[in-house]
Structure 1
Amino acid sequence: MSSWPGAPWLTLWGVAGLLIGDGAFAEYRGRPVTQVLDELRGEGLTFIYSSQLVPRNLRVEQEPAASSGVELAREILSPHGLSLSAVVQRVYAVVADPSVAKPAVKQESPARSRPEEVVVQTSRYTLTAPDVAAHIFLTQEELKNIPRLADETLRSIDRLPGSASNGFSSLASVRGGTPGETAIILNGLRLYEPFHLKNFLSPVSVLDSRVIAGMEFYSGGFPAIYGDRMSAIVDASTIQPSQPRYYELGLNVFHTSALAALQFDDERGRLLVSARRSNVGDLAQYADNDFGKPDYGDGFARLEYRLSGATRVAFNTLLSDDGVRATNAAKTQSASAEYNNVYAWGTLDHDWSDAASSRLIASYTDLSNEREASVEELGRRAGGVIDERDFRILGLRLENQVTGATLDHRFGIEGRYLTGRYDYRSQMRFEPDYPFPGSPARELQRVLSPAPHGYETSAYWDVRAMLSRRWMLQAGMRVDNQTYDGSDDGEQWSPRLSVMYTLGARTRVRASWGRFFQSQGVNELQVEDGIERFYPVQRADHAIVGLDHSFDAGVDLRLELYRKYYRDIHPRFENLFDPLVLFPEAEFDRVLIDARSARARGVELLVRLRPHGSWSGWFSYAWSRAEDRVAGTDVLRSWDQTHAINIGISWSRGPWSATVANSYHTGWPTTALADSSARNSERFDFYNTLDARLTRTFALSRGALDVFVEVTNALSRNNPCCVQYEVRRDADGSLRYSQAMDSWLPTVPSLGVLWRY
């Protein structure tokens, strides 16, 4: 079963393992060869074989010297006259080879594994390659096999406790925060607006899952090296070419993609290039209803070169381009948008010694957004908007790391120069009796054109100290300042502290406290709602306590409790009844939420069954509550979900792999039309989606072919998202209100192929 991002999950197999006390997973002798090969999928390896060549009753004859990887596979196959033939990167075919000699039994101890990375922070999930086993919850191979709409990388976060997802947007709310409180970082650069179709709920990010080697996800309590966000961090890194030539071509319902990875100059240089193009716009012409045509694409390139044994340089470019036209079902509203984003950054890494290193990152970001929208409802309302925005960001960041016998230091400084240009125009006329009988006629005219410019500066220091055999401490401080917003906030000082106590070889207790500030980004002015000034910096305090334990039966458990207190939070605008509209600022249910403070608290449980034969699995449960403090009253935030459960199971055997995952959470708060002053006092019905993915890998004369079938919301459940109201006057003059409930995604099937060679 595919293990979801950082989410361990308990299945019946895990329970059975606990009850019978089966702790002999580390011994290979006597176990089925097929079982061991399938377990190695957890390391990102795929082995293709037939049941005739590797029958299920074929057993490991002797304890191998290797403990993992391809060498382990070779050792258990060799006594049976079998060997491996490389098909493509990390894909091997099992073949008959009578010339293979039975290896002599080695007397030395098995190869030592890489030392475990010690993590002091709470709420950290490493979604990366399997070289730090204590914190692996999702390898790239597992990510490939997990159901995720549109192959979206960030949907892995939806499987973690603390995430509130609607199943459509690519980024969830984390522990009560808004999606804008999460920073997305790629190869050391923070990305601004890294989403396609961002005015249409951002269903896809610019992070192509085929180029992402791994992710670290912090749902709170992150160290001082990260700043200017209050809730979460997603820190992603790209793959590195590991062979002279490697190529991919992919085609599925959502994307056409290509990737090339090369090595040159005796492996001193590496080049990675990828590109994606959306197929959704092409498929839209076959839909029964012509609601619109979304087109988007992105490309990424990275060139690395090792100047010497101690010095390395890299150049990264990430480009995205969007164009979308959409019309509502009644043909009364339309919207179109174009977005163009350019990220370019270079890094210089130098190792001063085995214990000291530095990294310099220089970056340029260019964001261009254009949007037009109109509404034409005869006798009710008419108008439109033209909205243009451009931003430029130049950045320079210096990072340093010094490792000692008992102290590890990380410290650095960063500066950015930011400029922005807003050109927002809107004109609307609302006729008498709209939206309700008796409503007066009114007109709305806005012309806002602020042009902010200025600087962001920051500095941080983070230290990790081994106090004793059981106690470890990590502490840090950062300071941030902004000048582009014209405010007088001064410097924001953010202390952070995390401690870890080791109860035993398999049990650790962690606690974190920290202060986190978030300024309003140069690109985040709410001009669409008539706001042309930046708000003061927001603040959140996190307090987290956690317990990690690993059981003999291959089950990992994590339990965390957290509390977040928000202060000086920005006013925000929401549409009370229907967030799925093309022209949100023109709707009658658009309201200002002016909360001075907020709080979120919760309890989270994650359990994961590590690969056991062909099976693996995960389970998570979270209880949480997120509230705004408005005029002395606690009001639920619109993404509050009291109970959330994620469960999944994965199976793999030879060329086959399959995953079934289910996500459930309490229905989100909503507002009744009859009492709109009591905002979010009612709830929608619960949300539940069952998703599945099946993949078959074929060995070709050149490379390998992955064929997959996937279905989202397989049970076709109507998960309510919004309500549309109509007001009618009956013959007797009385008013009658009718409502139509709309839902999130219906059943969405998908299929695709990926050729790797």
Structure 2
Amino acid sequence: MTLRHVLRALVACIASCTSTVYASPYANRRVSDVLDELRGAGFVFIYSTHTVPAGLRITVEPVARGGVELAREILAPHGLMLLEAAPKIYSIARAAKTAGPRPPSADAYPIEELVVQTSRYTLSNDLATTATFLTQDQIKDLPQLAGETLRAVQRLPGSATNGFSGIGPVRGGEPGEVAIILDGLRLYEPFHLKNFLSPVSLLDSRLIDSVAYYSGGFPAIYGDRMSAVIEAHSIRPGQPRYFELGVDLFHASALGSVSFAEDRGRALLSYRRSNLGELAKFSEAEFGEPNYQDAFGRLGYSLTERTRASFNVLVSIDTIEALRARETQKVTAEYRNVYAWATLEHEWSEAASSRGILSYTDLSNDRYGRISEAARTAMLNDERTFHVLGLRWENLLDTDLLQHRFGLEGRRLWGQYRYVSDVSLAAGTPFPGSPALQVQRDLSPEPDGYEAVAYWDVRTDITDRWTFQGGLRFDTQTYDGSGDGAQWSPRLSALYALGRHSNLRVGWGRFYQPQGINELQVEDGIDRFNPVQSADHFIVGFDHAFATGLDLRIEAYRKRYRRLSPRFENMFDPVVLFPEAEFDRVMIDPDSARAYGIEALLRLRPHGSWSGWLSYAWSRAEDRIDGRDVPRSWDQRHALTLGVVWSKGPWTVSLANSYHSGWPRTPLRIEFDSGVPRVSSGVRNRDHFGSYNSLDLRVTRVFALSRGVLDVFAEVTNATSKANACCVQYKSHVNESGSVHYESDVDSWLPLVPSVGVLWRY
């Protein structure tokens, strides 16, 4: 059933009740208003505006005149029900639909909003047609280190995780190949502590209502990135007033939402600050003091019944001081991100709508560093500013036979780099016999130019069994000076309904990725942008919904990369403060690359108090370098994730286990060039670390208060404290015979990390 059909049915229901409207105390009133009145009697109802829209009205006069019985009666005609979370605390959810006889169709058991689309994954327990794949409830129920929203995405097939970074490679691509979008705006730098493995995103888990995740094969409306798209939507509380206050080991946060002008307008404001600086003061180790904070604001107003406007602002500020090696290495960094965008939406008719987004992005990144060691000294001064002014116009048109999505976008971009570094190595460093060396860099490029985008995407249901979706995207850039011209990206997907509960999908597309204006690699001595990269995706998938409550999905994919940009890696130890000053820094310049694999996801829909999932992926990711296939540093042959959620009354307990085979490791081999020792890159990624495994647990208890509810949770990351190896440090020693041997010290990712917290909602 489409939105248009729902609206028609709603209008018909309201019309049928007009004869009793004026004689009935509840009929034709807004559902949210009545629920708010019931809060005065001590009841708490938890829902979002996706579930109970502001315009949803009571269509049938209820028999009950109060209490939870009244709430149930006014919700039931809309297919909604109450789930008791604790005494007088209820969440509102969609009632399970009874399976009646109907002919097989592509929508028999839809798992995606666009049923023909491959590679959209979900842990959702609801099979109803919806654009939501990970709701806020599902995100918060899962263990999430530091409250990180994207931890839930990392538990889906195709993601490679180290347990620390907020986002990892997806289906063999680099982490930078993932686009993150919030309420229609692409975020250029969506992470805190971005030069320190990006552990926390700007997507506060309390702020995010839902997340849609494409692991590949995404439609033509999305561009700029080659591997994946994560589209997040901020919450829209249904209550006239809603507030939250929370504190845990990592963050303190606050959120408030109020309506005004007879509910035509709504304001939302959230704020979050880290507690890591305070934690650092209580630590015996001198590792520095990281601090960050972010805030989001939205002001929305319904100009008419068909026209809505909103203004959004997202601001983040980081201040980091990082120390290492007994304070002989020190890096300080200050980051400031400001995203501001205004949105205007208009429904021309039941079949046509448009949305315009005017945006401004301001990024400021400053990094300063020094190394003061006996055999090595270094200094760094890195200052960068970027500005992006954008205008996007997108449209939806439903002509019954064809559903169109098309739009235009233009961006004006300008930036400034100021990078100065000086690295000096004494003779005998890093290896005995190494000559003294000094490397100085001074670069100050100032890119300036434009981006232009046009796209068209169309979907059609040819028969009850066949559905097709195709699109074409046009991109061009001038700020990079590469002269690459325009990029044309065709996309095509098809779905064949094998039966009422089974679907077969296939998708193909070409995806281009220009180097972003903020991605110039000046730290490695590069002051020119690389040519536009591209990748071709081919995906085949099958899904089946079992009557027992299990859903199975199997998908095979293949990605072929062309014209890849060179990248820089630290072969032995990626967890360093000053990557460009380390001896193991190398440039990887592949001729091409490929990634392919098979993924299977088995999901249990709610069965009593239980739900869960199990996924397995076999994959390979390789660069083609000088005629050889070299595993990428995040190549993982086997990956297995398991999740179990138990929820009853006020209690929710979740367990999530992530396993993958060990990532490649480079053995240390010294070769001599004219008598000068240097690290051999010919053996790069020949060995492997041990397998990675992290068992994470979370327990939540909801308490009813005289005003609102209190969530209390305890969480453990890597509960078994497994030493997941990440990196190696080498030290050279000269034997009595004069020969040199090297000792290795293997370090690990996160140990066992506990956390506790409380959240007051009222």
State the partner residue of 1:415: 410
Question: Which of 485, 507, 525 is the aligned partner of 1:530?
Answer: 525
1:140 aligns with 2:145: no
Question: Which of 137, 157, 178 is the aligned partner of 2:153?
Answer: 157
1:65-99 CA distance string (max 9 Å, x none): 9879996449xx9xxxxx998558769xxxxxxxx
- Length-normalised TM-score, structure 1: 0.86
State the partner residue of 1:490: 485
1:10-89 superposed matches below 5 A: 72-73=81-82, 87=89
For 1:269, give the aligned amino acid. G
Question: Which of 742, 749, 755 is the aligned partner of 1:750?
Answer: 755
1:138-537 superposed matches below 5 A: 138-378=134-374, 380-537=375-532
1:658-669 superposed matches below 5 A: 658-669=653-664
Question: Which of 671, 693, 711 is the aligned partner of 1:688?
Answer: 693
Partner of 1:504, secondary structure, is: coil
1:483-516 CA distance string (max 9 Å, x none): 0001110100000000000011110011000000
Over the aligned positions, Cα root-mean-square deviation in angstroms equals 2.5
Contact 1:129 1:214 (C-alpha < 8 Å) held by counterparts: no
State the partner residue of 2:732: 727
Contact 1:271 1:303 (C-alpha < 8 Å) held by counterparts: yes
- Length-normalised TM-score, structure 2: 0.85
1:608 aligns with 2:613: no
CA change 1:734–1:359 in 2 (3 A) is: same
Report the Cα distance in structure 2 between the residues aligned to 1:384 and 1:115, rounded to whole angstroms: 59
Partner of 1:528, secondary structure, is: helix
1:640-651 superposed matches below 5 A: 640-651=635-646
In the TM superposition, residue 718 of structure 1 has moved relative to its aligned partner by: 0.2
1:42-87 CA distance string (max 9 Å, x none): 9999xxxxxxxxxxxxxxxxx999879996449xx9xxxxx99855
Report the Cα distance in structure 2 between the residues aligned to 1:488 and 1:634, rounded to whole angstroms: 30
Report the Cα distance in structure 2 between the residues aligned to 1:479 and 1:244, rounded to whole angstroms: 43
Q: How many residues matched?
A: 674
Report the Cα distance in structure 1 between the residues aligned to 2:560 and 2:109, rounded to whole angstroms: 37
In the TM superposition, residue 41 of structure 1 has moved relative to its aligned partner by: 11
Partner of 1:125, secondary structure, is: coil
Contact 1:249 1:258 (C-alpha < 8 Å) held by counterparts: yes
1:622-660 CA distance string (max 9 Å, x none): 000000011111000000000000001111110000001
Contact 1:127 1:215 (C-alpha < 8 Å) held by counterparts: no
Report the Cα distance in structure 2 between the residues aligned to 1:270 and 1:628, rounded to whole angstroms: 50
For 2:261, give the aligned amino acid. D
1:236-282 CA distance string (max 9 Å, x none): 11111211100000000000000001111111111111000000111
In the TM superposition, residue 563 of structure 1 has moved relative to its aligned partner by: 0.2
1:562-603 CA distance string (max 9 Å, x none): 000000000000000000000000000000101021000000
Partner of 1:297, secondary structure, is: strand
Contact 1:41 1:141 (C-alpha < 8 Å) held by counterparts: no
Contact 1:168 1:745 (C-alpha < 8 Å) held by counterparts: yes
CA change 1:139–1:44 in 2 (3 A) is: farther
1:295-324 CA distance string (max 9 Å, x none): 000000111100001110010000000000
Report the Cα distance in structure 2 between the residues aligned to 1:756 and 1:233, rounded to whole angstroms: 31
CA change 1:747–1:43 in 2 (3 A) is: farther
Report the Cα distance in structure 2 between the residues aligned to 1:397 and 1:44, rounded to whole angstroms: 24
1:595 aligns with 2:590: yes
In the TM superposition, residue 161 of structure 1 has moved relative to its aligned partner by: 1.0
In the TM superposition, residue 118 of structure 1 has moved relative to its aligned partner by: 4.5
1:536-575 CA distance string (max 9 Å, x none): 0001000000001100010011100000000000000000
State the partner residue of 1:554: 549
In the TM superposition, residue 329 of structure 1 has moved relative to its aligned partner by: 3.5
State the partner residue of 1:621: 616
Contact 2:135 2:211 (C-alpha < 8 Å) held by counterparts: no
Contact 2:82 2:92 (C-alpha < 8 Å) held by counterparts: no
In the TM superposition, residue 126 of structure 1 has moved relative to its aligned partner by: 5.1
State the partner residue of 2:558: 563
| Unaligned residue ranges in structure 2 (runs of 5+) | 1-45, 52-71, 94-99, 101-106, 670-679
Report the Cα distance in structure 2 between the residues aligned to 1:88 and 1:265, rounded to whole angstroms: 28
Report the Cα distance in structure 2 between the residues aligned to 1:130 and 1:325, rounded to whole angstroms: 45
1:586 aligns with 2:581: yes
Contact 2:109 2:501 (C-alpha < 8 Å) held by counterparts: no
Contact 2:691 2:724 (C-alpha < 8 Å) held by counterparts: yes
Report the Cα distance in structure 1 between the residues aligned to 2:717 and 2:628, rounded to whole angstroms: 39
Report the Cα distance in structure 1 between the residues aligned to 2:348 and 2:299, rounded to whole angstroms: 23
Contact 1:44 1:142 (C-alpha < 8 Å) held by counterparts: no
State the partner residue of 1:106: none
Report the Cα distance in structure 2 between the residues aligned to 1:153 and 1:477, rounded to whole angstroms: 31
Contact 2:159 2:169 (C-alpha < 8 Å) held by counterparts: yes
For 2:365, give the aligned amino acid. N
Report the Cα distance in structure 2 between the residues aligned to 1:43 and 1:336, rounded to whole angstroms: 42
| Unaligned residue ranges in structure 1 (runs of 5+) | 1-39, 46-62, 78-82, 92-108
For 2:692, give the aligned amino acid. Y
CA change 1:382–1:475 in 2 (3 A) is: same
CA change 1:226–1:729 in 2 (3 A) is: same
For 2:653, give the aligned amino acid. A
Highest RCO, 1 vs 2 (Cα 8 Å, sep ≥ 6): 1
Contact 2:515 2:530 (C-alpha < 8 Å) held by counterparts: yes
Report the Cα distance in structure 2 between the residues aligned to 1:224 and 1:377, rounded to whole angstroms: 52
State the partner residue of 2:713: 708
Contact 2:131 2:212 (C-alpha < 8 Å) held by counterparts: no
The runs of at least 4 aligned residues of structure 1 exceeding 3 Å deviation read 40-45, 63-74, 83-91, 113-118, 126-138
In the TM superposition, residue 736 of structure 1 has moved relative to its aligned partner by: 1.9
Partner of 2:134, secondary structure, is: coil
